[in-house]
């Protein structure tokens, strides 16, 4: 019997309850949760020069300490749509899980369809974002 693989991606810079609930819900869709972990350079581009707070290596270690995370794939600094598409084809997840506000939801839907996977949308838990946490604490 083969395992049902779930794929998610993200920064997971300052882990908070919203991340935990998303990771747990995504894992509940199958047997094996794989996380594509954004690079430090990509986070800096997305969120500004003060980010990331934790290095990619530290974020990997933090995520792997969670019992519902099975594998982390470290993403390189420069990736384009072709890289992501090829990676999805190589991993062949059964499910790609995203949050309801994912800015590239349509792209992920196309990726899922291209390999016969399902796209599962997880309702976003209303909590502090990593950016809000950093602003509130003055980090």
- Cα 54 from chain centroid? 15
User: Greater confidence, 50 or 10?
Assistant: 10
> What Rg, from alpha-carbon coordinates, does the chain have?
15
First-to-last alpha carbon distance for the chain, in angstroms, is 47
Q: What is the pLDDT of residues 67-112, one digit of tens each?
A: 999 999 999 997 788 999 999 999 999 999 999 989 999 999 999 9
The Cα 35–Cα 68 span in angstroms is 11
With CA atoms as reference, report the closest residue to 119 among 128, 111, 129, 131: 111
**134 has pLDDT over 60:** no
Q: Catalytic residue, from 3, 5, 25, 45: name it.
A: 45
Q: Is the dihedral of CA 34, 35, 39, 40 positive or negative?
A: negative
Report the CATH number at residue 51: 3.40.50.620
With CA atoms as reference, report the closest residue to 73 among 7, 2, 130: 7
The angle subtended at Cα 112 by Cα 20 and Cα 30, nearest 5°, is 45
Tokens of 44: 């800096």
Domain that holds residue 18: 5-137
Q: What is the pLDDT of residues 6-45, one digit of tens each?
A: 999 999 988 989 999 999 999 999 999 999 999 999 999 8
Whether 120 sits among the annotated catalytic residues: the reply is no
Question: What's the total number of domains in the chain?
Answer: 1
Q: Catalytic residue, from 5, 25, 47, 108: name it.
A: 47
**pLDDT for position 124:** 83
Whether 108 sits among the annotated catalytic residues: the reply is no
């Amino acid at each position: 019997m083969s395992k049902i693989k779930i794929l998610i991606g993200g920064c997971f810079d300052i882990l908070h309850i919203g991340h935990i609930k998303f990771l747990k819900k995504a894992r509940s869709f199958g047997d094996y949760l794989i996380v594509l972990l954004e690079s430090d350079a990509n986070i800096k581009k997305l969120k500004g020069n003060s980010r990331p707070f934790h290095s990619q290596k530290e974020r990997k270690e933090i995520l792997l300490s969670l019992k519902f995370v099975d594998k982390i794939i470290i993403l390189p600094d420069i990736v384009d749509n072709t890289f992501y598409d090829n990676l999805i084809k190589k991993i062949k997840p059964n499910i790609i899980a995203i949050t309801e506000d994912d800015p590239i939801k349509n792209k992920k839907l196309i990726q899922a369809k291209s390999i016969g996977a399902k796209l599962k949308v997880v309702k976003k838990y209303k909590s502090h974002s990593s950016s809000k946490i950093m602003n509130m604490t003055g980090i």
